Amino acid sequence: MEDNDEVFCRTNIALIGFMGAGKTTVGKFLSYKTKMSHIDSDEEVEKISKMPIPMIFQKYGDRHLRLLEQDFCSGILPTLTNTVISTGGGIILNQKNIEMLRLYSKVFYIKSSPQKLYSRLKDDISRPLLQTYDKMDAIKTLLADREPLYEICAHHVINTGELEVFKIAEIILSII
Ligand code: S3P
């Protein structure tokens, strides 16, 4: 942990992890339990661009989404206090975002196995990156690329296994 981390951050909780890991569900539950505010980076990106994420992909491509995520991290994140932040799964693809998340929040990696993610995402049509013939292969490939970044960004890794949402929230609350 760097010195700066100690100075800022401790009033916010950021949840990072792969699509379908449960960041939004856990984030909302944590917010309900703690009375902290809740914000979802995907929703903020949609507000900034005034269009749903699949349309951002379709019209402008994934690089545009990454720029909007960067706007969220540099513009909105530093203004937050006492807030649980659920993030889009690709937010860690930008080194600056990693730094900002670590600076302004305590970061938890909500870690799931490819099998568990697949069972959650197999019928999902809302994530453009996973609309491929072999969804399990897409999950494994993307996760292998991103795993080191989730680990670098996280102050704490929560292996969710078969844990229920309330248990994941309980573990997070026992750490902060
Ligand atoms: C993405 C994750 C999605 C959303 C977009 C891209 C990714 O958010 O930002 O479809 O690159 O992992 P969730 O992790 O909330 O599904």
CATH superfamily of the domain spanning 12-175: P-loop containing nucleotide triphosphate hydrolases (3.40.50.300)
Confidence of residue 176 (pLDDT cuts 50, 70, 90): confident
pLDDT digits (tens, 9 = 90+) for 8-59: 445 899 999 999 999 999 999 999 999 999 999 999 999 999 999 999 999 9
Residue 2 has pLDDT above 80, yes or no: no
* Smallest CA separation from ligand 1 atom 16, residue: 19
User: What pLDDT, on a 0 to 100 scale, did the predictor assign at position 10?
Assistant: 55
The candidate with the shortest Cα–Cα distance to 43, out of 17, 18, 23, 21, is 23
88 lines ligand 1 (CB under 6 A): yes
Domain boundaries, the chain: 12-175
pTM: 0.94
CB-ligand 1 contact for 120 (6 Å cutoff): no
Across 110-123, average pLDDT: 96
Q: State the amino acid at position 78 in one-letter form.
A: P
pLDDT in tens, 80-116: 999 999 999 999 999 999 999 999 999 999 999 999 9
What pLDDT, in 10s, does the model give residues 124-172? 999 999 999 999 999 999 999 999 999 999 999 999 998 999 999 999 9
Q: Is the CB of 19 under 6 A from ligand 1?
A: yes
Per DSSP, the residues of 26-59 read HHHHHHHHH--EEEEHHHHHHHHHTS-HHHHHHH
